[in-house]
């Protein structure tokens, strides 16, 4: 892997000759995003001004400033979130860096960004293994759509990523369901995060009852 990168996506989207850059799912990473939204992003002011010349470290500055997730808003303008997703597809950060983003506790929008990228770029079994632990994160997220703002949660967003075909106005790469992967012995059956809660739910009810009497 080369030690330098381009400040923008111009070279990676050059259609003259064969593409010989890094690939994801054996294709140009930037093509994982549909042409229309990709071009809207590249024409947007955020991409030209804020997302220009970023690398995996300086991308954090922008990710920390994110206020909402989403694909397009208002008059089909791309959100900063989706611009940064395209930027990450261009940067193609290493696995360790992505895990660093994902495991950070302080910035929830950074986590959402990393989760979205992982869903786009990684093989199915790993996506399930990496993202499922995040279902324990119940923090609120702001989702901006064409119609306005909506409230969602990190775990809800992760669930959308694992089960839906379109999230944030992007068609996600096809992925076998969890059940299929379990049948192929690529995944262990999932341990529910609330399984141990159910077991000792009786005790909790008892405790709550006592509190109520006081």
Partner 1 sequence: MSKPKGVYDNAATGDTSFRRTWDRDEYAHKAAERQAQEAKERKERYEAKVAGKKYLPKLDANINVKEFDDSKMVEARRDRIRLDENLNKVQIVPFGSTGGRRGKGAGYYCEACDLNFTNSLEYVEHLNSKQHLQATGQTDIVERATLEMVRERLQWLKQRKRDQNRAEQFDLAKRLAERRNIEEEERIERKERKRVKKEEKRREKLKANTNSVNLDDTQDRDATTMARMMGFEGFGSTKQR
Number of residues interacting with partner 1: please give it, by CB under 8 A.
Answer: 31
Long-range contact set of residues 90-99: C-beta below 8 Å, sequence gap at least 24: 90/5, 90/6, 90/8, 90/9, 90/12, 90/29, 90/30, 91/5, 91/54, 91/55, 91/56, 91/59, 92/22, 92/24, 92/29, 93/56, 94/56, 97/56, 99/130
Question: Closest separation between CB of residue 85 and partner 1, Å?
Answer: 17
| Closer residue to partner 1, CB minimum distance, 10 or 174 | 10
Tell whether residue 15 is a contact of partner 1 (CB under 8 A): no
- Of 89-108, binders to partner 1 (CB under 8 A) are 93-94, 96-97, 100-101, 104, 106-107
Contact call for residue 139 and partner 1 (CB under 8 A): no
Closest CA to 109 of 89, 77, 79: 79
Site for partner 1 in 48-87 (CB under 8 A): 48-50, 52-58, 60-61, 64
Contact residues for partner 1, defined by CB under 8 A: 1-8, 45, 48-50, 52-58, 60-61, 64, 93-94, 96-97, 100-101, 104, 106-107
């Amino acid at each position: 892997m080369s030690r330098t990168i381009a400040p923008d996506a111009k070279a990676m989207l050059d259609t003259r000759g064969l593409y010989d850059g890094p690939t994801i799912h054996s294709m140009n990473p930037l093509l994982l995003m549909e042409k229309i939204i990709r071009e809207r992003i590249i024409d947007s002011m955020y991409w030209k001004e804020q997302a220009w010349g970023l690398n995996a470290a300086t991308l954090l500055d922008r990710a920390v400033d994110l206020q909402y997730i989403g694909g397009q808003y208002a008059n089909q303008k791309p959100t900063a979130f989706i611009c940064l997703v395209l930027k990450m597809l261009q940067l193609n950060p290493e696995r360790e860096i992505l895990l660093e983003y994902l495991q950070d506790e302080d910035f929830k929008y950074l986590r959402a960004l990393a989760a979205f990228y992982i869903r786009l770029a990684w093989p199915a079994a790993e996506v399930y293994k990496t993202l499922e632990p995040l279902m324990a994160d119940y923090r609120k997220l702001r989702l901006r759509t064409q119609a306005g703002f909506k409230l969602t949660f990190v775990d809800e967003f992760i669930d959308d990523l694992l089960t839906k075909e379109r999230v944030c106005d992007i068609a996600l790469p096809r992925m076998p369901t969890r059940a299929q992967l379990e049948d192929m012995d690529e995944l262990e059956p999932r341990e529910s995060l609330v399984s141990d809660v159910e077991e000792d739910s009786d005790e909790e009810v008892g405790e709550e009852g006592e509190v109520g009497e006081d």
